[in-house]
A and B are shown apart, each in its own frame.
Chain A
Amino acid sequence: MKILLKGGRIIDPSQEFDQVADLLLEEGKVAACAPHLEIEDAQILPCQGLIVCPGFIDLHVHFREPGEEWKETIASGSLAAVAGGFTAVVCMPNTKPPNDNAEVTRYILKKAAEAGLCRVYPVACITKGQRGEELTEFGELKEAGAVAVSDDGRPVPDAFLMRLALEYAKNFDLPVISHAEELSLSSGGHVNEGLASAKLGLRGIPPQAEAIAIFREVMLAELTNSPIHIAHVSTKAGVEIIRQAKEKGLKVTAETAPHYFTLTEEATFGYHTNAKVNPPLRSEEDRQAIEEALADGTIDVIATDHAPHSPLEKVCEFERAAFGLVGLETALSLTLRLVERGSISLPKMIELLSCAPARILKLPGGSLREGSLADVTVFDPEARWIVTEEELNSKSKNSPFLGWELKGRVIYSIVSGKVVFSRREF
């Protein structure tokens, strides 16, 4: 099976490549890339006017299977992923039961194979039951297919236990991902502390709850000389700590999500539960700091923190509403707004969505070099669309961007040289 992508603008930051060319995929691998390729028996995908790049990799999604299949299944989440240009996703372990043993890891991989759309990489829990008490069996989990460990959804409250995790992870070369939140400051909070908590009369979550936790993780990374990846950074204070840590040469990497550089806490005004997310949407000053951190490399990755919830969890009192929003299908368009306003270049955007995530979790992909995985995203940066419930493939529609007109649409998502999603007939 050969696929020839004709005439697209091929952008591959992993080899600093950016020019109009043809790309040949063969046997699940990138076979060739040249200005004009004529291949007899290849299926042709016309890509004139489109961007062709290594498939996006989302380091942070919540597919609710097992346990909360009414919100999302691995199959529905995979469809949302490829519709958004993500050819691989990294699944957080806070399912029910949580992914704290090899049986759950294998179940996730089996469901992902049945869905057969994007690659699904499970993250295992750091602690059993995410209770923050005892470490899980990193060795067996890795063998079963876990690519990293995290208690995401919750922090590891005990610094000593986090230290142990960072040390023990070295035996298995397992990256550790931190959901950085100082619970004693944040618990009971529903929105950013500041404008939103004052206006809405809700208990707030101060930015310092994130910054203190990030600082702890940075110190533990230094203590153990281990890498750590900080999930969903939302604050200026957090960015500054990460920037200093990187200047010191510590092995700290970080991600943020499109809602943190697109929205501020004002999106919650009026008690809009679709804008209730943890960490919460912050101030304009924080939003700007996140945008700058993406531009200057302090934040390495854009991940979605795709967190589906049904109306049962969202059409209710704000305090009762669950945290989280769906993001897989709006991430590309929202990130393109950064390109449009000149904060980042198009190659930088692809670096943030594809190359860097692959590098940080040591995943295959993130490159169109000859011999690389034939995971490719093709998008039209100019196509306009309106976010509606019907447009979203995710089972859940809890997006704060419903009704927004956005630019940028995925045309083809290709995994292992197979077109798994297409908005054009071919």
Chain B
Amino acid sequence: MDFHHRHILDISALTPEDISYILKTAANLKEILSRPIPKVPTLRGKLIAHLFFEPSTRTRLSFEKAAKTLSADVFNLTARMSSVEKGETLLDTVLNVKAMGADLFVIRHPMAGAPHFIARTAHTRVINAGDGFHAHPTQALLDMLTVREKKGTLSGLKVAIIGDIRHSRVAHSNICGFRKMGSEVFVSGPATMLPPEKEALGARVCYRLEEALRDADVVMALRVQKERHGRQLFPSLREYAREFGLNAERLALAKDDCLLMHPGPINWGVELHPELENDPRSVILEQVTNGVAVRMALLVLLLGGSS
């Protein structure tokens, strides 16, 4: 099949066929990462600009690793070092970097829709690396890749996402992605951080944690996005851990062969009990490896190198 997208802004813009194709490409490219010399010339001569207007370690390094494995050159701009601090607009920043020859922009931004704005106005290729609490499509793709590797399918699964759903771009993109691929998604957490049913993008909203966890194939815990709340939305971290944190007892409600996932960074002792740290059901580090593979796939598909 052909891949026609110029941008990866949002899971909702992808068809199930697109998603399958991306995951298949990623699965093929993943092999490169385990070679003695993990480098191929596919994107030699391409320049990729990473614009990160929000702190990020995992996602930024993952994109960088993906680009370097494919032999692309990389610009790294973070908000603090850039001229954005001097009052330059986002659009001007992008246009300047584009004028230096950047072929693709990877943008993380605290404002929802900022990557869409750039895609529309700057006439360049854009990958959304997380915008506000709107979307984080590459995270959802790597989560789906991880689940498909382990379960062999993405359809007919029960996926439980626990935590701060309303302020989580990871939750939004995963709800959209897993549902597109034929799974059912249940969300639970403190009700002050749950969307009302009609705004849950098709996920089932559970006010009882147990309801979401029971017989789940996939259990995903999310970090509390305190920095996005504005105001305190729950009484204390202690209460959060007690009422909504995942521990062995709660995880026992899910299927025996369930997958435990977390997009990171983890606050041990809050959303995950430390007793789960070496749990065999955890695929948290495999998510990280798959993140590189998925991002390699997207770079290849958007920049048209042959895999």
- Residues on A lying within 8 angstroms of B by beta carbon are 188, 194-195, 197-202, 270-271, 315-320
Q: Are A202 and B112 in contact (CB under 8 A)?
A: yes
Q: Are B111 and A318 in contact (CB under 8 A)?
A: yes
Which among B89, B112, B201 is the interface contact of A319 at CB below 8 angstroms? B112
Of residues 100 to 134 in B, which have CB atoms within 8 Å of A's CB atoms?
Answer: 109, 111-114, 116-117, 120-121, 131-134
Which among B117, B133, B199, B230 is the interface contact of A317 at CB below 8 angstroms? B117
B114's nearest neighbour on chain A, judged by CB, is A317
Q: Are A316 and B201 in contact (CB under 8 A)?
A: no
Listed A/B pairs (12) with beta-carbon separation below 8 Å: A198-B199, A200-B113, A200-B134, A202-B112, A202-B134, A270-B120, A271-B113, A271-B117, A316-B91, A317-B90, A318-B113, A319-B111
B131's nearest neighbour on chain A, judged by CB, is A201
Chain B residue numbers with a CB within 8 Å of A317 are 90, 109, 111, 113-114, 117
Which among B117, B135, B199 is the interface contact of A197 at CB below 8 angstroms? B199
A204's nearest neighbour on chain B, judged by CB, is B199
- Residues on B lying within 8 angstroms of A by beta carbon are 89-91, 109, 111-114, 116-117, 120-121, 131-135, 169, 172, 195, 198-201, 230
Q: Are B199 and A202 in contact (CB under 8 A)?
A: no
A-B pair number, CB within 8 angstroms: 56
Evaluate whether A270 and B116 lie within 8 angstroms (CB atoms) in the complex, with A194-B199, A195-B199, A201-B172 already known: yes
Q: In the assembly, what is the distance between CA of A216 and CA of B186, in Å?
A: 39
Nearest Cβ on chain A to B118's Cβ, whole angstroms: 9
Q: Are B169 and A315 in contact (CB under 8 A)?
A: no
Nearest Cβ on chain A to B203's Cβ, whole angstroms: 11
B198's nearest neighbour on chain A, judged by CB, is A194
Q: In the assembly, what is the distance between CA of A198 and CA of B12, in Å?
A: 13
Q: Are A200 and B198 in contact (CB under 8 A)?
A: no
Chain B residue numbers with a CB within 8 Å of A197 are 199
Evaluate whether A201 and B90 lie within 8 angstroms (CB atoms) in the complex, with A317-B109, A317-B114, A318-B111 already known: no
Q: Are B112 and A320 in contact (CB under 8 A)?
A: no
Nearest Cβ on chain B to A282's Cβ, whole angstroms: 14
Which among B91, B116, B195 is the interface contact of A271 at CB below 8 angstroms? B116
Which among A188, A198, A316 is the interface contact of B117 at CB below 8 angstroms? A316
Q: Are B230 and A198 in contact (CB under 8 A)?
A: no
Chain A residue numbers with a CB within 8 Å of B134 are 200-202
Nearest Cβ on chain A to B52's Cβ, whole angstroms: 15
Evaluate whether A315 and B198 lie within 8 angstroms (CB atoms) in the complex, with A200-B113, A201-B112 already known: no
Chain A residue numbers with a CB within 8 Å of B116 are 270-271
Chain A residue numbers with a CB within 8 Å of B201 are 198-199
Q: In the assembly, what is the distance between CA of A318 and CA of B114, in Å?
A: 7
Q: Which of B132, B200, B230 has the most CB of A within 10 A?
A: B132
Q: In the assembly, what is the distance between CA of A316 and CA of B111, in Å?
A: 11
Chain B residue numbers with a CB within 8 Å of A195 are 198-199
B132's nearest neighbour on chain A, judged by CB, is A201
